[in-house]
Structure 1
């Protein structure tokens, strides 16, 4: 049926219980009204796909009621103009529906992690997976990536304000994720994580004193000879059936620690290496002639580290286990030691250092080097930093060492300035007198 569509004609058109009824407009080609058997009325546009003259598309413009006849006709004319320019609105709408169904954060985030296997270190990817599983997917997983807004990201960031560091890492990860989507041509527009303001992060500075290091050494010696009780947070709860004799087995729980684990912990204290760098150290990476170790896979890439005499002596003392390429072998044949965290918790508790993290041992090595006046460049090389910015956090310690040197030098010169020449006794006194005589003759 064809006629000019008006409100009166729309109201007059009766539904057919057996099929949809259509009224096609005589003013806008392809513009029509569809009446469902239920009586629901909506405006549609029928057209041939650009370049495909045998393929007819049908697109719903809107529902009658919220949309008037004149408003619907105006939208139809706008769509016809786009079609004349080569666009295919029905196909674009289908793509949008597919994106809502198939291109959600939950679907594409695992693909982003998979794509990074050859580009990022396993530890980095593992951290990304944890942040995604615990924070990103529960909050944004149901959303199509095209519909994630800056407000969504900011709301997630604010919900994590109790842990500002993790909150900032989530925003950084989302920003990288959406840039990846843009490169895959899945996402267009402004990155929704770009405008989120990060929380200020407090840089932790915890360095061991000489006395604290001594307590740590004492606890290590006890761990390897007698054994240590597990730290409180790692003790297994006593069974209710054996509460009455729980103390009978206390002595059995104290066994000498794994010698490899104790040695690996000592190497961390001496070298300032990262935990995985020490645990995965291979024998073929150690050059005993040059006192260096070449670490192929570190956070900063390939890294050549100088080994102190104490560290080299410790490595040399490790027994070589047949079939293992690692200096600190694990319980599984051919594998390195997997972790030393439980030992570390027990040792630090015995040393009354429960606030010290394993990573703080690295800071302690750097602070000792800075306090001795070594340059930030050399400290960075010692720790395996990729650039000087990572080492810059120790700049104030190096400044303290330089100030102490300046005070010492200026103090000695000041003492000489204030002293009488006759009071100066030393090998240069006679030379100074001769110099003074020559000056007077001149």
Structure 2
């Protein structure tokens, strides 16, 4: 049962757990509370803009009643002048927290778990893209990361020859992280939306000539021989790692990089000679099937036998492959092929189909394009069909 008495050394010492609370008789709202374990703390109760507040003053272990009273008088004066002292304390704590919250801490302590909860399959890729690309900013306070920092990074990436699509992906992942930081009130705002990205030529179609294709295949075999020669202690296997199966599959199916990375063995039907791209892994969000020719069918059967315990098709150390840019670039260098991305294997697949006379609508279905507009980029590769059409009325 709360009691009312001036808060002094004597009254504080006499306060019991049963009483629970001691209200001061001289300053309205000043009171002390005792916990079930006997710990006593001072509080100041006040109202501001019609709202009740209970402001923590301090513990009786560190403050005497007289010291607590002086603090309450000070806070009461601020309240009388219209200051919400509880809100001011909250803002001060938030400012201190923001000052110490670096980009690295935000990513590891808050954003990483959010990514996993939203999309477990892509979380690691998105997180690694930010953490590995912006290492120079990880120790910087979150609210001090500015658009200029990112603009400079883009300039440096371009000097190193990085693809605009890769740069855009990482910048967009970083922007998404900062959007969440604002939403969760870790920062008030950010200006990363003003970062200027490099305009991409979406009409660009790069495919391999017959000579380049052969050099790429030769480069794969040279790489295999080199790896085997460097470690003769290992039992010889048909494939040294995932790279050959992944590249050959991409060349013969036109699958996107993300579709290759998320392909599971349960989606490959060897008896029916096709694989399925599930809607959740497709850019179009629509399920599609891709027939398997003899080359990729035989390859995948052998690769499956070598990785019988894996759930995903393309694995390294029994984990889905995420980053293989180094291996891919080394392969291209060995083959003497320039200006060719892993995504261009998709263009290579489509281009070969069109040049072989396959109807554009069939190509569209195989690529998983939402409409024919994207597929029409390949139409110029079949000039003989245009000529044949005109000759029909000649």
TM range (shorter): 0.5 to 0.7
Q: Which residue of 2 aligns with 1:293?
A: 275
Q: Within 1, Cα distance between the matches of 2:194 and 2:323?
A: 39
Q: 1:192 to 1:141 in 2, by over 3 A?
A: farther
Higher-Rg structure is 1
Q: Within 2, Cα distance between the matches of 1:327 and 1:264?
A: 12
Q: Which residue of 2 aligns with 1:142?
A: 140
Q: Which residue of 1 aligns with 2:22?
A: none
Q: Within 2, Cα distance between the matches of 1:405 and 1:275?
A: 31
Residues 73-152 of structure 1: pairs in structure 2 closer than 5 A = 82-83=82-83, 88=86, 90-110=88-108, 111-123=110-122, 125-135=124-134, 138-139=136-137, 141-143=139-141, 145=142, 147-148=143-144, 152=146
TM (norm. structure 1) is: 0.55
- How many residues align? The count is 318
**Any idea what the Cα deviations from partners look like across 1:286-341, whole Å, max 9, x if unmatched?**
23454321345735467432223323354456673595356968786x66789987
Could you tell me whether the CA contact under 8 Å between 2:206 and 2:344 is conserved in 1?
Answer: yes
Q: Which residue of 2 aligns with 1:200?
A: 199
Q: Which residue of 2 aligns with 1:434?
A: none
Q: Within 2, Cα distance between the matches of 1:373 and 1:57?
A: 89
Q: Within 2, Cα distance between the matches of 1:53 and 1:282?
A: 57
Q: 1:349 to 1:163 in 2, by over 3 A?
A: closer
Q: 1:48 to 1:396 in 2, by over 3 A?
A: same
Could you tell me whether the CA contact under 8 Å between 1:153 and 1:192 is conserved in 2?
Answer: yes
Match of 1:407 among 380, 387, 394: 387
Q: Which runs of 5+ in 1 are unaligned?
A: 1-45, 60-75, 231-248, 415-442
Q: Which residue of 1 aligns with 2:376?
A: 395
Of stretches 289-298 and 339-348 in structure 1, the one that deviates more from structure 2 is: 339-348
Q: Which residue of 2 aligns with 1:304?
A: 288
Does residue 272 of the first structure (1) align with residue 254 of the second (2)? yes
TM (norm. structure 2) is: 0.60
Q: CA deviation at 1:181?
A: 2.3
Q: Within 1, Cα distance between the matches of 2:378 and 2:91?
A: 62
Q: Within 2, Cα distance between the matches of 1:48 and 1:291?
A: 75
Could you tell me whether the CA contact under 8 Å between 1:269 and 1:365 is conserved in 2?
Answer: yes
Q: Within 2, Cα distance between the matches of 1:93 and 1:318?
A: 58
Could you tell me whether the CA contact under 8 Å between 1:287 and 1:293 is conserved in 2?
Answer: yes
User: What RMSD over aligned residues (CA atoms) do the two structures have, in Å?
Assistant: 4.7
Q: Within 1, Cα distance between the matches of 2:103 and 2:73?
A: 30
